[in-house]
Chains A and B, each alone.
Chain A
């Protein structure tokens, strides 16, 4: 498929091997970029209108332009690559690191050239052992082939903390601290890692850079849904579909095509109930909204986001209160605890959702839940609290009748038949005690 960019060549060849990657033009763009002025490289990225693939959709070239020159700030400049892919529903960076690790390394070295940096850190989530090994082997090959040209690339493994995928939490963690969010400004471009100018980008963004240079910014900008949603994304499809997995496609493809054509639809002829477009932190879409093209502006018009392009398909068997509860439990578990609205608010959300699911809530508590969400949204140093509040509020608003039914019927209307019934949350593990057998001393 000609539209494949980030994974180009990976179906035909083993691109984890340097010679195979070179055979498809690998590292040619690095050589070319090193012969260009950094500003000219950035111009190509701006011309392509490449936007951040981690979820924030910020213009990559502009982010690079925020990095001061060495004359303005003589401290070392750093490039950090965010490979702490932890948003539930997202598993694209894993595929990139497993299958095209050299493309990530090439992109990283081009980015380092563009911001005059000699130091690259790749922060890779601790749970990703195979991708880490793949990247380590590729890095060794690149080093032996003298491709690094004085730039150091350090692979830094995380140890299980969602918040470290947030840029300021990542920097704290990389400095050897608890991964708690930082106050901004100053932004990382001015004062990031070790208070030095720092560029932070997602794996997919960086791995796209070599191809942007190869095709040329102007040509890349024609792919996908210009002017803003240019290029391809690795759509991570999961949930109730026949063929889950990663699908690299131009932005602008409809949600319906992704679910029914690529992922094979919903198993056993069941009906679609809802779909989460960008990862578990994103507001949900109902079944009648799936003709939306998967690009930034169209999803914004429906009050949601493309996020990290993680499509989570939910069929008719799922209870939305249980879904909301499990999502809230996740973010409560992952809250770093620094900001009160997130730390306390996510706990409130969990308690309210548990009460609703148990059938013990009053109708007024639905509005109370929305009120708690509102008191988290936009009131913290980082978006983790928003990541809980946005989706749960959307479930309440869009499936209010189902929430009300829990109250009216004094319990879950699915009567134990929901697909999410009895789903265990690890947050309970910390307070989990083995059941004491009857008659045994307590």
Chain B
């Protein structure tokens, strides 16, 4: 894990990009999340608060507003399937079900070995190329249910 001192230095540097340092709270939360293995444990709010001279309650209030800040532990790999209407009209539900079958967990859950978290997500902006699946935030386009076993196999390495 990155040291706390280094985290503070990085946040301080980001804060200089903004006229007011509180604007750096989202980038700081992103860094904190990376530092803590993909989620924000309670101490992360204290760390961000200390780095930006805010209160932990304020920082937590910001974090809870945004979907990409995770308040519970997540797996090493994040598999997110778009289930909004454009992907839905083209079979996103089958893609999601295929991932459920391959990974053995439902949406919002993490595999027992801590390897994968599966999530259904709202539109991630690739509507013309359904179904869009984000793996660790990298988009795969035109994914069909038939593609899912090989994707999971590839991810399992």
Contacts and interface: CB of A to CB of B under 8 A. Distances in A.
A271 interface: no
A194 interface: yes
Interface string A128-166: 111000000000000000000000101011111110000
Interface in A282-327: 310, 312, 314-315, 318, 323, 326-327
Interface string A232-250: 0000111110001110000
Contacts of B109: 432, 434
B67 interface: yes
Contacts of A175: 20, 22-23
Interface stretch (A38-46, A81-89, A349-357): A81-89
Contacts of B50: none
Contact of B85 (A126, A176, A327): A327
Contact of B129 (A88, A176, A244, A312): A244
A179 B22 CA distance: 14
Contacts of B107: 424, 426, 428-429, 432
Interface in B105-142: 106-109, 119-130, 134, 137-139
B30 A159 contact: yes
Nearest to A196: B19
A333 interface: yes
B79 interface: no
A161 B65 contact: yes
A5 interface: no
Contacts, number: 169
Contacts of B103: none
Interface string A241-263: 00011100000000000000000
Interface stretch (A48-56, A218-226, A414-422): A414-422
Nearest to A422: B93
A87 B86 CA distance: 11
B122 A158 contact: no
B96 interface: yes
B19 A119 contact: yes
Contacts of B128: 91, 236-238, 244-246
A94 B132 CA distance: 14
Interface of B: 17-20, 22-27, 29-30, 61-62, 65-69, 83-86, 88-93, 96, 106-109, 119-130, 134, 137-139
Interface of A: 76, 85-91, 94, 119, 125-130, 152, 154, 156-162, 173-179, 194, 236-240, 244-246, 280, 310, 312, 314-315, 318, 323, 326-327, 330, 333-334, 336, 419-426, 428-430, 432, 434
